[in-house]
Amino acid sequence: MKRYLIIPLLLSVALTGCQRAPESPSNVLDENLSADSTETAYNPSEEPVGDKPYYDGDSFDSYEEAVAANGNTADTEMLDYIPTYYTDDYIDVSVGNTTLGEHGELICLLASIDAYTSGNYLMTPEMFIDKYSRYVDQDANISEKIYKEICNEGVTCDTQTFSPWDAANALYVKKAIILLHINHDSLYGKGSTYLLLTGMQDDESGIACFAVKDSISSRAKDNSLGTGENGDLLYRMSDVAAMASDDSVMYVFK
């Protein structure tokens, strides 16, 4: 699998025109990522993920069938890929007074993270709601405590002010994945929006991009520049930086 180096000059060109925003939030941890590490780049497997629940490569029509066939167990190590979930696929799944179709953007991405870090092939957004119900209120709002809670054994979560440079360093050098919370109106949507950043890659024109999981399929269709080597969507780095500015928050899982 090819690995792409992040060239400072290329990133400088990609980020031209990115807007600055008000001061960073106060809940940022002091642990900043360092660019001096010599660790290798993070590149998830290209293994495709099916729409049905499955375990060890076998597909099932329901979670109950998967459990009956395999037992309610999971691997103890990270998966070698990150599952993708779209809110459109869970339109009628209830979350308190609402549904995943209406307010499931964050839950779908958190389910992807939890499945990946726990090695649980059976994890779905529905299972995630059951597993972490104490952190989800009747309107599908999520307590921030959940970010530490889904850190499975050997995984940490650092909260930082969004910076495209720090994000690129974390993805490429630290083998991290990043939940990006854009906490203001942007072209990606009104109010809060979320993206899961899984890697770095140049597009066909040589422009630096984030590999992204976006649980809103219509937004993914409008903003994607294609599919990267790891199977995720490519969003231009400069576009994400402009939408997020530096008053957004990133949760770095590594």
pLDDT along the chain (254 residues), means of 10: 39 42 32 34 34 42 51 46 90 90 94 88 87 89 88 87 93 91 91 93 88 91 79 90 92 93
**Which residues form the domain of 140?**
54-149
CB atoms under 10 Å from CB of 11, counted, come to 17
136 lies in the same domain as 219? no
121 lies in the same domain as 66? yes
Q: How many domains does the chain have?
A: 2
162 is a domain residue? yes
SS3 222: helix
The tokens describing 102, both together, are 């209406």
Q: Which one of 149, 174, 193 terminates a domain? A: 149
Is residue 10 within 8 A of residue 233, CB to CB? The reply is no
124 is a domain residue? yes
49 is a domain residue? no
Work out the end-to-end distance of the chain between its first and last CA atoms, rounded to an integer number of angstroms: 21
Q: Which one of 109, 127, 149 terminates a domain? A: 149
Give the model's pLDDT for residue 234: 92
Find all residues with CB under 8 Å of 250, minimum gap 6, and list them. Answer: 159, 160, 161, 162, 166, 167, 178, 179, 180, 181, 197
Is residue 180 within 8 A of residue 189, CB to CB? The reply is no
212 is a domain residue? yes
16 is a domain residue? yes
Give the model's pLDDT for residue 77: 43
164 lies in the same domain as 107? no
Q: Which one of 149, 180, 198 terminates a domain? A: 149
249 is a domain residue? yes
80 is a domain residue? yes
74 lies in the same domain as 108? yes
144 lies in the same domain as 66? yes
Rounded CA-CA distance 47/57 in Å is 10
Give the model's pLDDT for residue 166: 94
38 lies in the same domain as 21? yes
Whether the predicted model's global pTM rises above the 0.95 cut: no
106 lies in the same domain as 160? no
